[in-house]
A = this chain, B = another copy of it.
């Protein structure tokens, strides 16, 4: 075989399979399916059992970890939602008595939101149920499966971060 034939073959192969990463693609689709399945189940159960939505649950989870409350902009940053969307979520939770909203003592232009005692009780009840649901959905995994998954996902998180950083780096 002379050089030009080898070169042609390599080129032909590259054209046929310009990106032969089907295994990684399959893995990503399975990961996405799992995440979507778990999330859809959580959404449905929050609605059916507590008449609550996932974004409101997530918002209350953030505030449960902040005994003195949080400004709206801190909250928006942590939840990665727009201020507009956040305001609608907060309005609704203030209405039902789960949250208080007041101007910040240090900066009157900033609003601080916090859980009310009743809101905290309601959240803790939902959080307990949520934890049971997740454990139930993961019941097919033994201790070794869980450890494997945790470790592999840790690596995936790091290499995805590295890949994503290239975008902002250029």
Contacts and interface: CB of A to CB of B under 8 A. Distances in A.
Given A27-B149, A38-B28, A160 B137 contact: yes
B34 A156 contact: yes
A27 to B, nearest CB: 6
A27 B35 CA distance: 11
A134 B164 contact: no
Given A19-B131, A21-B131, A135-B21, A31 B140 contact: no
Interface residues of A, number: 57
A61 to B, nearest CB: 10
Interface string A12-55: 00000011011111111011111101111100110010000000
5 tightest CB-CB pairs across the interface, nearest first?
Answer: A140-B159, A21-B135, A35-B35, A149-B152, A148-B148
A9 interface: no
Interface string A141-161: 100011011111111111111
